[in-house]
Amino acid sequence: MSWVSGFLVARADDHKTAWGERNGRKWRRKRGSTLWSTRYMSCLRDPEGADGPSQASKRMKEDEEDGCLRRLAHVFQSKQFRSAKLERLYQRYFFRLNQSSLTMLMGVLVLVCGVMLAFHCVHGHPDVAYASVLSVAMALFLVLMVVCNRNGFHQDYMWMVSYLVMAVLVVVQVFGVLMVSPRSASEGVWWSIFFVYIIYTLLPVRMRSAVLSGIVLSTIHLVTAWRLNLEDQFLWKQLCANGLVFLCTNIIGICTHYPAEVSQRQAFKETRGYIQARIHLQRENQQQERLLLSVLPRHVAMEMKAHINAKKEDMMFHKIYIQKHDNKEEKAMMAKMQRARANSTDGLMPRWVPDRSFPRTKDSKVFRQMGIDEASSKDNRCAQEALNPEDEVDEFLGRAIDARSIDQLRKDHVKKFLLTFQTPFLEKKYSKKVDDRFGGYVACTLLVFFFICFIQLTVFPHTTLMLGIFISIFVILANILFICAIYSCLFPTALQTVSKKIVESRVNSTLVGVFTLLLLFISAFSNMLTCEREGVIECVAEELNISESTVTLCVLHNLTHTAGDTLTLCPSQKTPCPFPEYFTYSVLLTLLACSVFLHISSIGKLALMLLIQLIFLLLLEWPLVDLYDNADLLVTNIRPVFTSCSPYSHERMSKVSLKVMTPVILTVFVLALYLHAQQVESTARLDFLWKLQATEEKEEMEELQAYNRRLLHNILPKDVAAHFLARERRNDELYYQSCECVAVMFASISNFSEFYTELEANNEGVECLRLLNEIIADFDEIISEDQFKQLEKIKTIGSTYMAASGLNDSTYDREGRSHILALADYAMRLREQMKYINEHSFNNFQMKIGLNIGPVVAGVIGARKPQYDIWGNTVNVASRMDSTGVPDCIQVTTDLYHVLASKGYQLECRGLVKVKGKGEMTTYFLNSGPSSS
C-alpha cells in the first residue's frame, strides 16, 4: 500500500506531486548520480559490515515506511487551520456553497428514497415498517430542504443537519437490507453505494466522519446480508464482491473529497494572501501619498497622478504642470521666489519637478461587485487602524464574504447550464488553469480498475478474453499513469515533453482523462459478451426434453440446489453469469470515477456519463437481455414460497426485473453525479473569480505603489524616501547624513531670462516654460542612464540644474573616485545636449557649469513640507563656479582638477578668479575626457 499512499498524499520532496502539495523533505536519489546504490555503497564500507545491511540503509528503510504511513494518515487528518478565527472565516467563505449543496442533497435523497419505495411496493405486498421508514425519511428530507433554504439558516445548524442526515441514512440502510424481498446478498448494494458516496461529496462533513459513516453503512449491509443468507452456498462470492464494491466506493469518495477540500482551502488561503498583500500595499500607498503630499502641493500631486493613471498619448512635448494666478497670487509667488533667490547664496534652492515619462496602467478587468469595494474599505479605515495586520485582513475578508452573493455572481458572470463565463476573456483565462493533481486522478482510476478486475474475477467465470482485456487495459493505464504522474529527469527528453504537454494543458489532460475512463468502462462491461445468453427456461426445457410451460418453480428450485456453487442450471452452459448485476455495479464504479477528475467540466462529464449509460443500456436491453432475465429467475427461485413443492408453489415471488431497475438506477446516479459536478465546477469558477479580483486589485496596488515610488524618487533620493516610508515620521524629526567627499554640479542656462517673454502669442510665457521643461526632461533622461547611476538630481530652480554624486554608501567610491568621474562625464554630456537642442530648436542658449568636490551635509528638515537638500562650503563654492563661469564651459576647482587630471581628463587653467566670499581662487576648465588611447 506504500505506492497507493504515495499517490493519495503529497510526497515529501521539492517537486509538486499528484495532489499538488509540499510536505517537507524525505530521502531522495540525488540527481545525476548513478552510484547511489546499495551495491556501490557496500564497496565503501568496512569488510566487517559487508555481510549484513548497514544501519544507514535500515534507517533509510524505516524512514521511508514511516513517511508512507504519515502521508497516508495525512489524508484522514483534520484539515482545520491552526487559527480558530481563520477556520471560522473559511467556513463562512463556503457556507453558502455548502448550503446549496445540502439543499441539492435533500432533493436527491428524496428521489432515491422514492425509487426505493417504488421498487419495494411494486410486487404488491410491501412491508409496512419499511414503507413507513422510507416515507418518514422522504418527509424529513423535504422539511430539511425547506429549512436549508431559509435566510435564518445558521452555520452551526449545518453540522446538526449533516449528522442528522447521516443518522437517517443509517436507519434507512438497516431497514432496507433487513426488509429486502426476495432476499439476496446482491440486493441493496446500489443504494449502499449511493449513500456512501454522497456522504463524501455532497455532505459538508470532515473526512473522518465521512470515512466512519462509509464504514458503518458498508458493514451494516455486509453483516445483515451474511446473517440473512447463511444457507446460500455461493454467499461468500457475493460477500467478497460486495466488500470490494464498498471498499472501492470509499476509496473513490476519499479521492474526491480530499483533493476538493485541499483545493478549496488552498484557494481560500491564496485569496486571503492576495487580500493581505493588497491591504499591506494600500497602507504603504497611503503612507507614500502622505509623504508625497507633504513634498508637493496637493493640486500638483493630484494632477501628476491623474496623468500617470490616464492612458499614455503620443505627445510632441512632455506634460508640464503649471497654473496661472491672479495679481495677489503672483505677488505672493514673486515674494517667495525672491526669498528663494536670496537663500540661494547658501545653496538652498526650492525644487521644481519637471515631467517624466511614466508607464500607463493597464485597463482593469476586475468585477468590483464580487467583493467589497475600496470605498467601503476606506470608510472603515479608522476601525482597522486599531487592529493588528492579521486581524485587519480577517476583518476585511469577513466583510467581503458577507457582501458577496453566490446567486448574483452566477447570474452576472456564469451561464446557467454550461457554467461557462459570459466574458470570453475570463473563459480563456480560466481554460489556461492547470490542475496539478491530474496524476492522482489517473492513479485513482487505476485503483478502481483493480477493484473491478477483482470483483469480476470473484463472481464470474474466468475466460481468456477476460484476462486479455484486463492485462491490456492495465498496461495502457499504467503507462498513462507513469507518463502523467511520475515524470522526472530520469525519463528521455521526448517522454518528458509528452508528459508536460499532457499535464500542463487543460485540453490534453481532459482528453487523456476521458480516454482512461472509457478504458475503465470497457473493463466493466466487456466480460458480459463472454456470458451465456440463452434463456434459462428454454435451456432447461431442452435439457430435460419437456415443454417450456412445464418448467415450474419446483423444477427450477430443485435444479438450483443440485447446481451447487456453480449455479449452472443447464449443463450446456459453459460460462454462466448468475449475477449480472455486478456488471451494473462495475459500471456504477466507473461513473463514480468520472467525478474524481475535478478539472473536467460538468457538461463534459454529463456527456461522458450519458454515453456510458447509453452503450450499457443498449447491450442490456437488446443482445444481453436474457442474461438479466436469468438472474431474476435465479433470485426468485432460490427460496420458494413454501418449503415443499405444493400446488401453490408455482406462484413465483414478484420483483422489479433488473432490466427495468438498471436504467432507473443509472439515471439516478448520472443525475446525482451531474449535480455534484456542477457544484464542484461552480465552486471552482467562483473561487477563480474572487481570486482573480484579489489578484487584479493587488496588481493595481503594486502599479500604484510603483507610480508613487517613482514620483517620490523624482523628488527624494531612494535611500531618503525608504527611510521615511519605513516608519511613521514626526514633524519635528531631523534627518541628516554627513558625506566626506561629494561632487556637486550647478548647470544654468545663463541667457534663458532673455528668451523668456510673456506675450499673448506664446500664451503668456507658457510656451517658453514648455521649452525649458523639455530641456530639463532631457537632462533627467540622461541622468537616468546606467553609467550615471551614482548621480542624484538635487533640484532645479528656474533654469539652474543641480546634481551631486557620492551621497550614500552605494554611490560613494572611496578608492577609485568613480562617482566624481561620473559627474564630470555628465557635465560634458549636458554641454553636448545643449548644443543639440540649439541646433534643432534654432536657439542660442548658453550654459555655464560649475563643479566642486568636498564634504557636505545632506538631509531633510523635519517640517510639514520636507525638502531634501545638501549644505556646506562645497555647495557654495560649486554655485560660485557656475555664477562666475564662462558660457559653454565647465569650470572646476583646484581640488577637482587634481582628481580629474590624475585620471587623464583634459583640463585648461583659467587662472585666478574673484569669488564672492572666498577671494581669489585658481580655477580650471574641463575640456574633454581621457583620450581613448
pLDDT in tens, 126-149: 888 999 999 999 999 999 999 988
Q: How far is residue 379's CA from residue 472's CA, in Å, rounded to a whole number?
A: 66
Distances (CA, A) of 794 to 170, 729, 802, 823: 80, 22, 6, 13
Output 690 or 750, whichever has higher pLDDT.
750
Mean pLDDT of 561-567: 52
* Cα(777)–Cα(793) distance, integer angstroms: 12
- Judged by average pLDDT, the poorest of 277-286, 295-304, 699-708 is 295-304
pTM exceeds cut of 0.85: no
Q: Is 672 exposed, middle or buried (0-12, 13-18, 19+ CB in 10 A)?
A: buried
pLDDT the model gives residue 494: 78
108: closest CA among 222, 206, 195?
195
For residue 120, which of 176, 168, 169 has the smallest C-alpha distance?
A: 176
Cell of 764: 503668456
Confidence band for 590, pLDDT divided at 50, 70 and 90: very high
Task: Look at residue 744 and tell me whether its pLDDT is greater than 70.
Answer: yes
**What is the CA angle 823-829-834, rounded to 5?**
130
Percent of the chain past pLDDT 90, that is, above it, reads 39
The whole-angstrom separation of Cα 227 and Cα 872 is 103
Domain(s) labelled CATH 3.30.70.1230 in the chain stretch across 729-928
551 or 255: which leads in pLDDT? 255
pLDDT value for 654? 58
Query: Percentage helix, strand, coil, to 5, in the chain?
Result: 60, 10, 30
Tell me the three state secondary structure of residue 794: strand
**Grid cell locating 405:** 452573493
C-alpha cell recorded at residue 822: 561620473
**Residue 907: what pLDDT?**
95
Which band of pLDDT confidence, cut at 50, 70 and 90, is reported for residue 822? very high
Half-sphere exposure of 116 (CA within 13 A, CB side): 31
Distance CA 57, CA 174 (A): 51
Q: Count the Cβ atoms, other than its own, within 10 Å of residue 5.
A: 18
* C-alpha cell of residue 299: 493640486
Q: What pLDDT is attached to residue 356?
A: 34
pLDDT tens readout for residues 799-815: 999 999 999 888 899 88
- Comparing 218-222, 323-327, 490-494, the range with the smallest average pLDDT is 323-327
> Quick one: pLDDT at residue 309?
61
- The three-state DSSP-derived secondary structure of 711-739 is HHHHHCCHHHHHHHHCCCCCCCCCEEEEE
Strands 889-892 and 847-860: parallel
Give residue-wise pLDDT tens across range 835-879. Answer: 999 998 888 899 999 999 999 999 887 656 677 889 999 999 999
Average the pLDDT over each of 49-58, 826-835, 891-900 and give the range with the smallest value.
49-58
Residues sharing a CB contact under 8 Å with residue 503, sequence separation 6 or more, in sequence order: 434, 436, 438, 439, 484, 487, 509
CB atoms under 10 Å from CB of 343, counted, come to 12
**pLDDT higher than 60, residue 3:** no
Q: Which three cell numbers stand for residue 588?
A: 456504477
Sheet strands (E) in 153-236: none
Residue 75: count of CB within 10 angstroms of its CB: 19
pLDDT of res. 39:
32
Could you tell me which CATH number the domain at 729-928 has? 3.30.70.1230
Which amino acid is it at 335?
A
DSSP 8-class letter at 421: B
